[in-house]
Amino acid sequence: MALAIFDLDNTLIAGDSDHAWGEFLVEQGLVDAEQYKEANDRFYLDYQRGQLDIYAYQAFALEPLTRWSAEQLAQLHDQFMQQKIAPIMLDQAKALLQKHRDAGDFLLIITATNRFVTGPIAELLGVDDMLATEPEVIDGRYTGELVGTPCFQDGKVERLNQWLAERDHELTDSYFYSDSRNDIPLLELVDHPIAVDADEALTEHAKAKGWQLISLRN
């Protein structure tokens, strides 16, 4: 059984779920539209440039979760899935997951986006497990704080190594699919690094390394 690892945003789905959640909050009138949109867009641009301050971003992204109960958040997320996620699901991504599933591989999503946003998406995709940035929950409510290392850049490698230390899986013959320059540290670690609809920096790096480049959107 090989380990098949997948980034989520702009890899298995044709968009960024974290940024889309921010857009959803703005569209629903649940946050200050002008200020929140400006910050959401600015952080996303920082991410695309490989310059994101993950702690500052998570403080921004997790604060709205503290405002509502678990039941209210579940209702909002259901609406978010219908309005924002369903339109960006990719048939070719589902086929790729099925290819690895049929080969007997273990399917793992590893994403910088927090588990509140991504958990239901990973469940919909039917993967075996997921590593995500973990928001703190106390007495059933989000505190706005993080638990552990954010699952971002070198943090993805750290979190994956922690996960591997607790399980029987190993990186021999492993795959990792990603679109982003931010994932180069983890792509360097696996036996089969694959750039998916990659950004410019990752495309250049992948070509220099002789890595496979694919698209799930053609």
Q: Contact, 65 vs 142, CB < 8 A? A: yes
Side-by-side strand order, sheet with 192-196: 141-147, 129-138, 106-114, 3-6, 175-178, 192-196, 212-214
139 is catalytic: no
How far apart CA 89 and CA 126 sit, in angstroms, is 13
How far apart CA 186 and CA 176 sit, in angstroms, is 8
How far apart CA 139 and CA 136 sit, in angstroms, is 10
**Residue 197: CB partners within 8 Å, gap ≥ 6?**
10, 11, 179, 214, 215, 216, 217
Q: Scan for tokens 């929140």, then name that residue.
A: 36
9 is catalytic: yes
Angle of helix 54-62 relative to helix 33-49, nearest 10 degrees, comes to: 150
Q: Any idea which residues carry the catalytic annotation? A: 7, 9
